Amino acid sequence: MAGSLQERRASLRTRTLLGAVAREANKLVTWDCQVRNLSQQGARLETANPVWFPQSFELDVPVRQMRLQASVVWRAGRQLGVAFTGGEAGPSATERDELQRLKLEHGRLRARLNDLTG
């Protein structure tokens, strides 16, 4: 049976043990999970309570600097199979605003440092 599963996959999955966070579209509710294997098209996740996982969500894998839109394909026990449904999720408007603010502050601090040491 394992051989037939491998044959149906469009790309090879790599075994992993990566911490991740799943977020609903509103980003207010999160679920901790582990990425147990990963490919370009999807992943196998493990979580303490998969019953409450939403059908579609954003998957954030900080150690790989990945944030992807995903959808549940199958559920079995504590595991979920997910397909990636789009490209990497970009930063939210709030995150973009904060990044812009930090860039401006960085520029001001660099200029001040140059004034003090210059």
Check residue 95 and give its pLDDT: 63
82 located within any domain: yes
108 located within any domain: no
95 located within any domain: no
Region for 99 from its dihedrals, namely left if φ exceeds 0, alpha if ψ lies in -120 to 50, beta otherwise: alpha
Supply the DSSP symbol for 58. E
Check residue 92 and give its pLDDT: 54
| Alpha helix (H) residue ranges in the chain | 2-8, 93-117
100 located within any domain: no
For the chain, residues with pLDDT lower than 70 are 1-11, 87-97
117 located within any domain: no
Check residue 2 and give its pLDDT: 46
CATH number of the domain that 56 lies in? 2.40.10.220
115 located within any domain: no
Check residue 7 and give its pLDDT: 43
Check residue 58 and give its pLDDT: 92
Task: Count structural domains, the chain.
Answer: 1
Please state whether the predicted TM-score (pTM) of the whole model is above 0.85.
no
Check residue 96 and give its pLDDT: 65
pLDDT single digits (tens) 65-90: 889 999 999 999 999 999 998 765 55
Determine the structural domain holding residue 19 and report its residue range: 2-89
116 located within any domain: no
94 located within any domain: no
